[in-house]
Structure 1
């Protein structure tokens, strides 16, 4: 059987970013400032992209020498492994935003199903990180995805489908994991060398936790601003402004599938910005809302266009090695025995 080209896990960032754009348009539509159909069409495109990427990834696994070994190697990859959670988080978000308004029963069931799977995968990653100690220099903001993004998006989804106690529990999961992992990840970024170029787009993910937490809390507590929203906005503003200093880093990057790290993060910031403008209604707030949605649409649309061009030119998939690479052997932690003491 002819082997299918390896599909990197960061390809699941494509439907995830499109779902984020659909959410931003849906938020604007909820305030009656945009047609609901725009967000719904984008969510449909995101769903189609998830199916295509998922099918391509399964085809790659199906033609590997060992399906289980290939899948295990992806999950254990210290750089790409956490991105596997996007395969579960994206359909959970799509079910809550796109399916539930039209088919409440089916939308709730699918949201709950992927919520459970997201929590289980996040728990597996947490246990794996405890069992096999992490190399601090290998971690990056993508480590937010399995538990922080998973928990907070699960909270938002549960709130949207009317399961508010579950939403509160998921909010607690996401926020507490954010506190723990956020300290670890930011410490690594502050005190260790800069991330390698392939992982530098994940720096944009630093703006996402506060924005996603804000969207979740807004839906949980009844669409109003309160002290929790203000606290999240303060930290979120810091992380957004910090990105300005990273512009020289971003300008040096070449386009890869990892560029999609920018999409959902800024779509979430855009959506929470629309919420704040609607709730506070400063002078010209509707103009600012349209500027925000236009900017993020151009950003994600531009990345999408570059992706299509790269696919047509055969430049998106990583180059395949001429000879099969031997996967590194991951030694188990050594447990001292009685013979070691001799």
Structure 2
């Protein structure tokens, strides 16, 4: 009898909504929109995260070896980190403003778990049988996104030195993994269709690094911020060339890879607009905020529709579970 398989990238839904919440909070703190809208989106992300955790726990508890198979899967395992990274973002942006102590505790707990999991998974990649063709941009998630979100989250709750440590954790991991991931994309066959949405993650490292650096440096635009923006600009232009590939994709949970990636690009853009205040900067702010909200809102609406039709999560046979465990 087929069972409903819950893929690890289901946690990207909460991550994307939290990223959108962060974009609205950034615009709200600049006085352009009510900050409560961003906090409400973060609250929605927390609900989605809890539901996703419940779905996934029900799935792994329903069959022997499912959790181990997922964590040892060289393609799927990086997405498990999102279950730990998203709560840091939600705690620092949504909880800490109302309860600083509780927010700091949750940030620290999930920061430690993120670091431990990123280290364990990196070790697993070393000792496991990993082929170059199995690598994809999702490999940035555990250490790069994990470290940089941890940096921004720690900075927001007042732990500056810890934030600097996490900045190094994320940025150096990005430099190392970036050469591997880019080499795979340039020199090996194209990613299979189910993994093509992960190429949207290519825009995320410079944008997350920018947001983390702004959190550390009180929003100032300086030499490092400009360097990060330069590479981020290249990655955004690259995504324009990939639009024809994306247009042919079927909607799946993997489509959520576009959400946090572009939310954090939007957040970075809002920081730059606010720092420079060019003529018409308020209009630019609303255009950026509106565009990313329409994108993520559209993906969320399509997800609800697919869920109502029973098309979002694919069934997995017991035989396939056994073969992967």
Relative to the length of structure 1, the TM-score reads 0.93
Counterpart contact for 2:2–2:316, Cα < 8 Å: no
Deviation string, structure 1 residues 148-174 (Cα, Å, up to 9, x no partner): 000000000000000000000000000
Match of 2:87 among 84, 88, 91: 91
Counterpart contact for 2:207–2:228, Cα < 8 Å: yes
Per the alignment, residue 61 of structure 1 pairs with: 60
Secondary structure of the equivalent of 1:195? coil
Per the alignment, residue 295 of structure 2 pairs with: 299
Q: 1:226: how far off? A: 0.7
Counterpart contact for 2:21–2:42, Cα < 8 Å: yes
Secondary structure of the equivalent of 1:126? helix
How far apart in 2 are the matches of 1:324 and 1:298?
Answer: 37
Tell me, yes or no, if structure 1 residue 102 matches structure 2 residue 101: no
Structure exhibiting the larger radius of gyration computed from Cα positions: 1
Task: Write 1 or 2 for the structure with the bigger share of helix.
Answer: 2
How far apart in 1 are the matches of 2:128 and 2:61?
Answer: 28
Secondary structure of the equivalent of 2:239? helix
Q: 1:192: how far off? A: 0.7
Of 219-228 and 163-172, more deviation after overlay is shown by 219-228
Q: 1:222: how far off? A: 2.0
How far apart in 1 are the matches of 2:136 and 2:281?
Answer: 35
Count of aligned residue pairs for this structure pair:
325
Secondary structure of the equivalent of 2:32? coil
Per the alignment, residue 241 of structure 2 pairs with: 245
Match of 2:179 among 175, 178, 183: 183
Secondary structure of the equivalent of 1:21? helix
Counterpart contact for 1:121–1:146, Cα < 8 Å: yes
Q: After superposition, where does 1:257-336 map in structure 2 within 5 Å?
A: 257-321=253-317, 323-328=319-324
Deviation string, structure 1 residues 100-156 (Cα, Å, up to 9, x no partner): 000000000000000000000000011111112421001000000000000000000
How far apart in 2 are the matches of 1:239 and 1:311?
Answer: 32
How far apart in 2 are the matches of 1:267 and 1:9?
Answer: 21
How far apart in 2 are the matches of 1:324 and 1:268?
Answer: 36
Tell me, yes or no, if structure 1 residue 15 matches structure 2 residue 33: no
Q: Structure 1 residues 322 and 116, CA, compared in 2 at 3 Å: closer, same or farther?
A: closer
Q: 1:63: how far off? A: 1.5
Counterpart contact for 2:3–2:316, Cα < 8 Å: no
Q: Structure 1 residues 151 and 324, CA, compared in 2 at 3 Å: closer, same or farther?
A: closer
Secondary structure of the equivalent of 1:177? helix
Deviation string, structure 1 residues 201-234 (Cα, Å, up to 9, x no partner): 0000000000000000011022211100000000
Tell me, yes or no, if structure 1 residue 43 matches structure 2 residue 42: yes
- Return 5+ residue gaps in structure 2 as ranges: none
Instruction: Could you list the structure 1 runs, at least 4 aligned residues long, displaced by more than 4 angstroms after superposition.
Output: 322-325
How far apart in 2 are the matches of 1:320 and 1:6?
Answer: 5
Relative to the length of structure 2, the TM-score reads 0.98
Q: Structure 1 residues 134 and 230, CA, compared in 2 at 3 Å: closer, same or farther?
A: same
Structure with the bigger RCO (C-alpha within 8 Å, sep 6+) is: 2
How far apart in 2 are the matches of 1:133 and 1:211?
Answer: 31
Q: 1:319: how far off? A: 3.0
Deviation string, structure 1 residues 288-320 (Cα, Å, up to 9, x no partner): 110000000000000000000000000011133
RMSD: 1.3
Tell me, yes or no, if structure 1 residue 213 matches structure 2 residue 209: yes
